[in-house]
Amino acid sequence: MAGSSPAWTLRRLLALWRFYGAMDLKWMMRDARSLLLWTLSDVITAISAVASTLLLAARFNGIGRWSTPQITFMLGYALLVGMIPNIFFNYNVAYISRRIGRGQFDHVLVQPQPLWMILLTEGFSPFTTMLGLLPALALLAWPLGRGVHTVTIGWLAAFGLNVVASVAIALSFSLIVGSLAFWAPRAAEEINSSSWHLLESLKLFPLDGMGAGLTATLLTAVPAGFLAWYPSRALLGIDGAGYAILVTPLAAVVAVLLATWVFRRGLRQYGRTGSQRYLSFGHRR
């Protein structure tokens, strides 16, 4: 069947990304003032998010066992992990509680596309978010240029694998928390706003020296430690264990499986009760 072949699936994904990317570009280019304000706000927001930790590291020549270049790399990693969901999943998965809580999930279910394909493509917003990548790339490039770690093909592969794993963990946490809106749509409509703020606030600091209980909490119940701290210490060799480079990817597998289970239970609940309310606010037309 042509519609189920890998080649057809890839073509369909590319076509949908092109379509939603064009929508994003048209929205961004509606007038020069909006373009300028949007561009400046993205860059300023990204810089301000890491400024306090970066200035603290510069003032004291590092934080704990982390040198200033190592802290800079960790902050660049954290920004990159935060920007990828903004580019690919901002509208749908990252803030899925809004779709569910506002009764807009029917917009997804009535489309002649597999659910996974819709969730993978509908939030694609490359143009309104891409400039936020510049501070992340700059923060990553500076310490690597200073020799914080030798860059090889193998290291770049490990870096890419860990970045993807960190993004998967962040999105899985968002999906788990956002699925609460299946049971309490009004109360949980904006719960993902709080869950993302929680992760964004906690991922910017090294967790070395914290108690075992608090560290475990920030690697499990609230997995902020996997969004920058743990993968960065593995990539930079701060954690000398040979297996450390694989911990974040393995944690991502567990997180994705758990998120899938919770989300499917939510879908069954939705199938029994349907939407109890509908708000058109925020629907991407």
Q: Are 129 and 90 in contact (CB under 8 A)?
A: yes
Query: pLDDT by residue (tens digit) across 90-109?
Result: 778 889 999 899 888 888 88
Report H helices in the chain: 6-28, 32-59, 68-88, 96-101, 106-109, 115-121, 133-145, 153-178, 191-202, 212-217, 229-235, 244-273
pLDDT in tens, 117-170: 999 998 898 888 877 888 999 999 999 999 999 999 999 999 999 999 999 999
Residues 172-184 as b or e (16 or more Cβ within 10 Å = b): bbbbbbbbbbbee
Closest to 100 in 3D by CA, of 183, 171, 181, 194: 181
In this prediction, residue 1 carries a pLDDT of 43
Pull the structure tokens for residue 36: 């300028």
The CA radius of gyration of the chain, in Å to the nearest whole number, is 20
The pTM of this model reads 0.91
| pLDDT score at 117 | 93
- The single residue listed with the structure tokens 């809004």 is 98
| Strand partners of residue 209 | none
Q: Write down the pLDDT at residue 284.
A: 58
246 SS3 class: helix
Ranges under pLDDT 70 in the chain: 1-4, 281-285
β-pair partners for 66? 63
